């Protein structure tokens, strides 16, 4: 473990982290997983982040942008596990070229060697051994920066395999959502893992964990519920010495099950209660918090085609100023890829509005039977946003 802690401490010292006490764990990385543009990156830095995690070579532009913003980068490398030897060789050569090109960049903090490459594999060890082999090559080219391998949060037996695998990996990354983030530190210890652990993706209740409607539609937490999760879990993780950092997922916007489930920002870049929670956790004040959602409701779960639908939201601005609400109906998403690809957004549905106000709406259900969601976006006078949605069925 000493070697890996030294590698992590070296990475931290590169950006003048506060000194650590003798025998104490290095201070945690403070940042988020990122997918966005320059403006979103600027907002991340303004929120108090020090580190940004990106996923692949197409994000190399972030290195230059981050340098100007005082951020360090965990530079992701896109890793696959092709079975053909020629494909493995081609991947290795591409990684060699990329690492050689960027290894001396002043914003580089660590190499992220793959993300959940073993997902779906009955036996993850062959994949992890290939990643470890590539990490060894990376360390030969660039011994100055630690390597991070990010895996799916699996059961205790998989964690035990990680404890004896991958000597070339300095930091073990595990993606953890909802309650799993609270149990992860103890589970890691129980498995015998001694390396520093980074939560590569930290998120509230995922769509695969959420309760569902009778027709299978998962119920998404509101932005306010997600913000409470981030507030509490980041406070907890700060007390865990083996946790070397946590990257809330995702600073940006992403269509995955819905257009709002995992994004900490809206597609237009609007800040939210989740981004406020991170800002506070990172030690910066939030003068004007985003709107808070206290409750949402819809008249029923199922409606006849063309039937009147009524729904409402109880929300408040931080100072009591008026809010404005956008209501829209989308078809339930069907292009579901579980985070492994780019999902096609579902269509917006024409639903004649009978009445719309900040707190309530009445509209006519779609004529076509099927599964839908009513999306609620609330904005305050500063443009900060709150989000919620309500699944419903037409039959």
Q: Give residue-wise pLDDT tens across range 298-317.
A: 999 999 999 999 999 999 99
Residue 229 has pLDDT above 80, yes or no: yes
Q: Give residue-wise pLDDT tens across range 231-281.
A: 999 999 999 999 999 999 999 999 999 999 999 999 999 999 999 999 999
- Which CATH superfamily is 292-394 part of? Immunoglobulins (2.60.40.10)
Q: Which long-range contacts (CB under 8 A, 24 or more apart) does 344-350 make?
A: 344/255, 345/255, 345/259
Position 6 confidence tier, pLDDT thresholds 50, 70, 90 = low
The pLDDT, as a whole number, for residue 180 is 97
What does pLDDT average to over the chain? Answer: 94
Mean pLDDT in residue range 110-134: 96
Position 178 confidence tier, pLDDT thresholds 50, 70, 90 = very high
What are the angstrom distances between the C-alpha of 139 and each of 58, 111, 113, 134? 21, 9, 11, 9
Q: Give residue-wise pLDDT tens across range 54-80.
A: 999 999 999 999 999 999 999 999 999
The pLDDT, as a whole number, for residue 17 is 39
Mean pLDDT in residue range 134-152: 98
List the chain domain ranges: 2-281, 292-394
The pLDDT, as a whole number, for residue 62 is 98
The pLDDT, as a whole number, for residue 52 is 98
Looking at per-residue confidence, does 18 or 33 come out higher? 33
Position 4 confidence tier, pLDDT thresholds 50, 70, 90 = low
The pLDDT, as a whole number, for residue 8 is 54
Indicate the pTM of the whole model: 0.93
Q: Which two tokens stand for residue 212?
A: 């569902």
Residue 96 has pLDDT above 60, yes or no: yes
Position 27 confidence tier, pLDDT thresholds 50, 70, 90 = confident
The pLDDT, as a whole number, for residue 20 is 36
Please classify residue 331 by burial: count the beta carbons closer than 10 Å to its beta carbon, then call 0-12 exposed, 13-18 middle and 19+ buried.
middle
Q: Give residue-wise pLDDT tens across range 316-330.
A: 999 999 999 999 999
* φ, ψ at 34 (rounded to 5°): -130, 140
% of the chain with per-residue pLDDT over 90: 91
Position 16 confidence tier, pLDDT thresholds 50, 70, 90 = very low
The pLDDT, as a whole number, for residue 341 is 79
- Which CATH superfamily is 2-281 part of? Glycosidases (3.20.20.80)
Location of structure tokens 């995922």: 206
Position 2 confidence tier, pLDDT thresholds 50, 70, 90 = low
Mean pLDDT in residue range 20-24: 38
* DSSP-based three-state secondary structure for 395: coil
Please classify residue 362 by burial: count the beta carbons closer than 10 Å to its beta carbon, then call 0-12 exposed, 13-18 middle and 19+ buried.
middle
Residue 83 has pLDDT above 80, yes or no: yes
Q: Are 313 and 291 in contact (CB under 8 A)?
A: no
Q: Give residue-wise pLDDT tens across range 346-390.
A: 999 999 999 999 999 999 999 999 999 999 999 999 999 999 999
Mean pLDDT in residue range 329-356: 93
């Amino acid at each position: 473990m000493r070697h890996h802690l030294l590698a992590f401490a070296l990475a931290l010292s590169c950006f003048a982290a506060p000194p650590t006490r003798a025998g104490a764990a290095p201070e945690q990385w403070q940042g988020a997983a990122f997918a966005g543009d320059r403006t979103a990156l600027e907002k991340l830095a303004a929120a108090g982040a020090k580190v940004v995690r990106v996923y692949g070579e197409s994000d190399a532009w972030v290195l230059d942008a981050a340098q100007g913003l005082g951020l360090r980068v965990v530079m992701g490398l896109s890793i696959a596990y092709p079975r053909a030897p020629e494909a493995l060789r081609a991947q290795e050569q591409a990684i060699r070229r990329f690492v050689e090109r960027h290894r001396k960049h002043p914003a580089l903090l660590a190499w992220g060697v793959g993300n959940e490459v073993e997902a779906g594999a009955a036996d993850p060890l062959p994949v992890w051994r290939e990643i470890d082999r590539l990490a060894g090559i990376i360390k030969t080219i660039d011994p100055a920066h630690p390597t991070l391998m990010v895996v799916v949060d699996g059961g205790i037996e998989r964690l035990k395999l990680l404890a004896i695998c991958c000597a070339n990996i300095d930091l073990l990354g595990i993606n953890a959502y909802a309650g799993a983030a609270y149990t992860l530190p103890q589970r890691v210890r129980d498995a015998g893992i001694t390396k520093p652990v980074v939560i590569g993706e930290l998120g509230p209740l995922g769509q695969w964990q959420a309760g569902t409607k009778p027709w299978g539609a998962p119920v998404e937490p509101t932005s306010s519920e997600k913000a409470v999760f981030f507030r509490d879990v980041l406070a907890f993780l700060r007390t865990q010495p083996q946790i070397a950092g946590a990257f809330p997922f995702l600073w940006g916007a992403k269509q995955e099950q819905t257009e709002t489930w995992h994004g900490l920002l809206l597609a237009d870049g609007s800040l939210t209660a989740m981004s406020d929670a991170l800002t506070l956790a990172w030690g910066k004040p939030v003068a004007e918090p985003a709107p808070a959602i206290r409750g949402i409701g819809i008249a029923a779960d199922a409606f006849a085609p063309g039937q009147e639908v009524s729904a409402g939201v109880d929300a408040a601005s931080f100072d009591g100023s008026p809010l404005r609400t956008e209501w829209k109906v989308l078809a339930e998403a069907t292009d579901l890829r579980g985070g492994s690809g780019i999902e096609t957004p579902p269509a917006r549905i024409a639903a004649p509005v009978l009445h719309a106000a900040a707190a309530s709406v009445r509209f006519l259900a779609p004529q076509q039977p099927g599964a839908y969601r009513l999306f609620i976006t609330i904005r305050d006078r500063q443009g900060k946003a709150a989000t919620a949605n309500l699944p419903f069925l037409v039959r």
